[in-house]
Amino acid sequence: MTIAVCDDEKIFREKVVSMLAQYRKENACTFEIASFASGKELLNYEGTYFLVLLDIEMPGIGGMETARRIKEKNKDIIVVFLTSHAQMMQKAFEVRAFRYLLKPISMIDIDQCLNAVMAELEEETVILSREGMDKLVSIRKILYIEAGIKNTIVRTEEGTYASKNNMAEWEDRLTDGSFFRCHKTYFVNLAYVDEIQKEYATLYNRERVAVSRRQRKEFEKRILQYIKRNAR
């Protein structure tokens, strides 16, 4: 496994690499570290990596465009943005970044970030059914859950599944703040929400889910809480 670091500032980039190496030693990890001075250099890299710490503001191909291209090739790569400006936080979520770190970053920032990433990799799964076959699916890859007549319909990045769990059972299970019941017939994964309109929410894949009038304000509040919680 490899962690990529991409930042045009050499001194800062080397500092991040050093902190990653310290984390690796202190936590007995085995990942490799690869560093890049530009978005172009990273995009031309032929190796693989599971996590990239990516500067948003770089000359040439900026961090946002670099992240978009990375996600187009492999949506499972975890992106953590590095930035000097807190106002860039909202843009970080346009490409479903895992979180962002505000420069100058410290060893505590690296510890908290990598601990969260490692926990994410040890993700919770659920058994879902499609075409008579059961499959183990990562909960974080669920876009939304919709109430059906006899069961619930689970929409994921890979396709649509059925679950014997009813909405109340899903509500009992999804308690970490990543999902919200925006309507009596929908649970939505907050990580996939792009924007909220008057009566529905649009996801990053352009699908829409209904939002009840009663839940709209709380939904917006939860979205902001989710962004802040994942942007440390």
Q: What is the pLDDT of residue 219?
A: 94
- Domains of the chain plus CATH, in order, are 2-121 (3.40.50.2300), 125-229 (2.40.50.1020)
Distance CA 206, CA 164 (A): 27
Q: What is the pLDDT of residue 120?
A: 75
pLDDT one-digit tens code per residue, 85-129: 766 666 656 667 788 898 999 999 999 999 988 887 777 778 888
pTM > 0.95:
no
Q: What is the pLDDT of residue 91?
A: 60
The residue ranges of the chain whose pLDDT is under 50 are: 232
109, 173, 189 from 29: Cα distances, Å: 17, 31, 30
Q: What is the pLDDT of residue 222?
A: 92
Q: What is the pLDDT of residue 132?
A: 77
Q: What is the pLDDT of residue 231?
A: 58
Distance CA 154, CA 162 (A): 6
Distance CA 200, CA 183 (A): 9
Q: What is the pLDDT of residue 149?
A: 86
What are the beta bridge partners of residue 95?
none
Question: Is the Cβ–Cβ distance between 191 and 226 less than 8 Å?
Answer: yes
Q: What is the pLDDT of residue 232?
A: 47
**Mean confidence (pLDDT) of the chain:** 89
